[in-house]
Amino acid sequence: MTDIKSLLDDVIEQEIQTLESLDSGSDEKSAAIRDLATLHKLRIEEIKAETEAVEKSKRREMDSEQRKAENALKEKQAEKQADGADADREIKEKQIDAEADRQKAELALKERELNGKDADRTREEDLQKRQAKDLMIDRCVRIGVAMGELVLPLVFYGIWMNRGFKFEETGSFTSTTFKNLLNRFRPTK
């Protein structure tokens, strides 16, 4: 094959060199171009065939290696099965122990999460109770201040008006102080 390949390469080179010497547009040059294209196609097909042959041989080698590996694995499995009854039992026991440990860990984790949630819930409830108590105290103080702002001036005005009216019960003498005091009373803000 190597000889055919080199011969084909030589012929293609000769055709390219002769193509340069031919006149443009002549029938000879057109025929030479067609021959060169045909030779080039043959060269490409040769390369493809060679590549496919290499790939097939590699595949065969890989398949045989894979079969050898599978056979070796089957032999090992057969050996393990012969010795594996005890080993399988031990492996299963270890798996069961590992599963039990994992379940215990999950239960402990869930319990911690629940305890954490309960603690958070208790803290939130305590905070809400304190806030409600603070709001109640604040509301009571505001109501007390508002009532004081309203009631104290009314009581003050009531006392001074009673004294002024007692002083002027007879009606013969009116004081300018009482008149001025009545003008200054403002029971609203």
Angstrom distance (rounded) from CA 15 to CA 31: 11
146 is a domain residue: yes
Mean pLDDT (whole number) for 133-159: 90
Residue 17 has pLDDT above 90, yes or no: no
**pLDDT, mean of residues 42-52:** 86
pLDDT tens-digit profile of 53-102? 888 988 888 888 888 888 888 887 777 776 666 666 777 888 898 888 88
Higher pLDDT pick, 176 / 113: 113
Q: Range of 74's domain? A: 2-184
Residue 139 within a domain: yes
Write the pLDDT tens digit of every residue in 135-147: 999 999 999 999 9
In a domain, 108, yes or no: yes
Whether residue 134 has pLDDT greater than 90: yes
Q: Is residue 22 included in any domain, yes or no?
A: yes
Pairwise CA distance, residues 54 & 59, whole Å: 9
Distance from CA of residue 1 to its chain's centroid? 61
Asked if the model's pLDDT at residue 171 lies above 70, the reply is no
Distance CA 185, CA 164 (A): 13
- The answer to the question of residue 21 being in a domain is yes
Tell me, what's the pLDDT at 36? 82
Helix (H, G, I), strand (E, B) or coil at 171: coil
Count of domains observed in the chain: 1
Mean pLDDT, rounded, of the chain: 81
Q: First CA to last CA across the chain, in angstroms?
A: 119
Task: Please check whether residue 27 lies inside any domain of the structure.
Answer: yes
| Mean pLDDT to the nearest integer, 148-152 | 87
The tens digit of pLDDT for each residue in 99-122 reads 888 888 888 888 888 887 788 888
Q: Which of 11, 16, 76, 17 is nearest to 46 (CA)?
A: 11
Q: Show Cβ contacts of residue 20 under 8 Å, excluding neighbours closer than 6 positions.
A: none
Burial track 83-110 (b if 16+ CB lie within 10 A, e otherwise): eeeeeeeeeeeeeeeeeeeeeeeeeeee
189 in a domain, yes or no?
no
Q: Report yes or no on 116 lying in a domain.
A: yes
